Amino acid sequence: MGKALGGSTAINGMLWARGNPKDYNLWAQQGNEGWSYEELLPYFKKSEDSNIKHYSSHHQGKGGKVHLENSHFESHATEYILRAAKELKIPYVNYNAGDQMGIGHAQGALKDGKRWSSARAYLEPAEKKSNLIIKSKSTVLKVLIDENKVAYGVQYIQNGTLYEAHTRKEVILSAGGMATPKLLMLSGIGIKFIFDKSPLSPENRKEEIVEYLKHGKGPLTAFSADLVAYFKTKVSQDEDGYPDIELTFSPKRSNDRLAVAVNVVLMHPKSTGTIKLLSKDPLDPPLIDPSYLSDENDMNTVLAGIRIAQTFTKTDVFKTYGGHLDSEPLPACSFEKFDSDSYWRCAVQHQSICLSDPAGTAKMGGENDTDAVVDSKLKVHGIKHLRVVDNSVIPISVTGHMMAPAYMIGEKAADIIKYFWKSK
Ligand SMILES: Cc1cc2nc3c(=O)[nH]c(=O)nc-3n(C[C@H](O)[C@H](O)[C@H](O)COP(=O)(O)OP(=O)(O)OC[C@H]3O[C@@H](n4cnc5c(N)ncnc54)[C@H](O)[C@@H]3O)c2cc1C
């Protein structure tokens, strides 16, 4: 998605939420050997350099390439929400340390309050290595595969000129959850698509800019959320401890009043969509039909999540400080009674957005899994010397966001590939 060195980590919301151990245990239960939480934990830790509150040395890493911090700026709203959570008996958690149920300070991929993309983390330190060539402003058109189904390179275009890059070992495709399936299809490999994650959802800036640039402090260091909370709604059929809703709390300015945007994020959407080629022109975008909310369970879960979010407004701390739900109805839904279930259903239909976490579009699974595109070593079924290493391989969506799993997949793939070629 992000057309930059570092891909979407160059433009994303920086929130670090790797999901629930059960997510990865489900991957392993589907026949993906080596992908249980315990087996993946060393790779999560290897990627991380955690400088966060309530750091857990068992679950989190230090000394890795991805710097992690909490926001350097805390507004009063954050304090009120934490106090309200206490009143509601919602436990305080480090949601990346095993147990997610509760509320905690958001963790983000930042260093000294500034974005820490994968280009800064991994490419900059390696850019002088003789075995790395970075070709920016280049678009891969297809993977080159010979008549024996062996991948031997890629065709790409740079400044209007067509090139081929050939490999002596293997091709690794890491174009992300949307472009990887497109490239596979353009290369003659047909796949299905499983879609992921459908969320709901200046005055004196000069001083803030100086504070941010000079000291890495102030409101501009805030990222997509200050606080993150996980809940199991009343409509969930899952076991206890496995959340189906995430709330992210982002303090906003609103006409000099303290305002907080609460995003209600659906963790395990049951709706699935399709991705197809629009044409054979590799420069055309793919045709994506996400079919958001096509499964009624998704709407019911979001609705239950909205009701949980509203419990905060009933607390004494909110009452003391005049905290209330913004009751300005969405114009498109003003024909419904405000705050009724039908009002919220209408609002969700009109205003929900996707958090841009596409995954599972070239999923990992065994030979007998007819939906699987790659095996547990990330090799494309039926093609030699071609691997996919990005979020496309994720077989089941995680109870969090997709940047942390993307780094983990990269770290694990590096070991798989090194081991494979060393043992040859
Ligand atoms: C706006 C936004 C906000 C987000 N916020 C968060 C967040 O707060 N927390 C979180 O955990 N996740 C977030 N995400 C998701 C997260 O950034 C991604 O899940 C993660 O970066 C995926 O990594 P990836 O390697 O699979 O793909 P990508 O990061 O998408 O990388 C793919 C790369 O391949 C390149 N590429 C694609 N096609 C071609 C081609 N044909 N030729 C050459 N290069 C190509 C792309 O330009 C890109 O550089 C967000 C994403 C977006 C877009």
How many other C-beta atoms are found inside a 10 Å radius of the C-beta of residue 46?
18
Q: Sign of dihedral through CA atoms 85, 107, 398, 277?
A: positive
- Residue 4 resides in a domain: yes
Residue type, 327: S
**What is the pLDDT at residue 303?**
97
Range of lowest pLDDT (120-129, 199-208, 364-373, 413-422): 199-208
Percentage, residues of the chain above pLDDT 90: 75
Pocket test of ligand 1: the residue of 185, 402, 411, 412 to mutate, having most ligand atoms within 8 Å of its CB, is: 402
What is the structure's pLDDT at 216? 73
- Pick from 70, 44, 39: nearest CA to 57: 44
* Residue 61 placed within a domain: yes
Please report whether residue 349 resides in a domain: no
pLDDT over 70, % of the chain: 93
Write the pLDDT tens digit of every residue in 290-337: 899 999 999 999 999 999 999 999 999 999 988 888 888 999 999 999
Mean pLDDT of 70-97: 93
CA of 108 to the centre of ligand 1 (A): 16
- Kindly state whether residue 188 falls inside one of the protein's structural domains: no
| Predicted local distance difference test score (pLDDT) of residue 201 | 32
Confidence class of residue 206 from pLDDT cuts 50, 70 and 90?
low
pLDDT at 77 over 50: yes
Answer whether 196 contacts ligand 1 (Cβ < 6 A): no
What is the rounded distance in angstroms from the CA atom of residue 5 to the CA atom of residue 138?
11
Q: Residue 12 belongs to a domain with what CATH number?
A: 1.10.1220.110
- Confirm whether 274 is domain-assigned: no
Report whether residue 357 contacts ligand 1, using a CB cutoff of 6 Å. Answer: yes
Confidence band of 221 (pLDDT split at 50, 70, 90): confident
* Residue 5 domain boundaries: 1-70+106-133
Q: How many domains does the chain have?
A: 1
CB of 402 sitting under 6 A from ligand 1: yes
* End-to-end Cα spacing for the chain: 35
Checking if the pLDDT of 358 tops 90, the result is no
Evaluate whether residue 262 is within a structural domain. no
pLDDT confidence of residue 190: 63
Instruction: With beta carbons less than 8 A apart as the criterion, state whether 75 and 112 touch.
Output: no
Cα distance between residue 196 and residue 198, in whole Å: 7
How much is the average pLDDT of 121-149?
A: 95
CA-based torsion, 49, 54, 57, 58: positive or negative:
negative
pLDDT digits (tens, 9 = 90+) for 37-47: 999 999 999 99
| pLDDT (0 to 100) of residue 205 | 58
Distance separating alpha carbons of residues 258 and 100, to the nearest angstrom: 28
Sequence-separated (6 or more) residues with CB below 8 Å from residue 128: none
CB of 1 within 6 A of ligand 1: the answer is yes
d(CA 29, CA 127): 38
In short, whether 118's Cβ falls inside 6 Å of ligand 1 is: no
pLDDT band of 278, cuts 50, 70, 90 = confident
Write out the two tokens for 368: 């007998």
Position 255 confidence tier, pLDDT thresholds 50, 70, 90: low
Instruction: Give residue 390 CA to ligand 1 midpoint distance, Å.
Output: 9
Q: Which residue has the higher pLDDT, 82 or 324?
A: 82
Is the CB of residue 3 below 6 angstroms from any atom belonging to ligand 1?
yes
Tell me how far apart the alpha carbons of residues 260 and 169 are, in angstroms, rounded to a whole number: 52
174 CB under 6 A from ligand 1?
yes
189 lines ligand 1 (CB under 6 A): no
255 burial type by CB count under 10 A (0-12 exposed, 13-18 middle, 19+ buried): exposed
pLDDT confidence bin for 253, thresholds 50/70/90:
low
Q: Which two tokens stand for residue 178?
A: 């949307």
Instruction: Determine the pLDDT at residue 277.
Output: 87
Higher-pLDDT residue of 1, 163: 163
State the distance from the centre of ligand 1 to the C-alpha of 186, rounded, in angstroms: 20
CB burial readout 322-358, b (16+ within 10 A) else e: ebeeeeebeeebeebeeeeeebbbbbbeeebeebbbb
Which pLDDT score is estimated for 203?
44
Mean pLDDT across 122-142: 95
Residue 85 belongs to some domain of the structure? no
- In which band, very low, low, confident or very high, does the pLDDT at 80 lie, cut at 50, 70 and 90? very high
C-alpha 398 to ligand 1 mean position (Å) = 16
Most informative mutation of 403, 407, 408, 411 for ligand 1 (most atoms within 8 A of CB) = 403
Among the residue ranges 23-37, 51-65, 138-152, 273-287, the one predicted with the least confidence is 273-287
Number of residues that this document lists for the chain: 424
Nearest ligand 1 atom to the CA of 156 is 42
- Compute the C-alpha angle 406/407/413, nearest 5°: 90
Mean pLDDT of 155-172: 96
66 in a labelled binding site: no
Lowest-confidence pick of 32-36, 187-191, 271-275: 187-191
Mean pLDDT calculated for residue range 61-71: 96
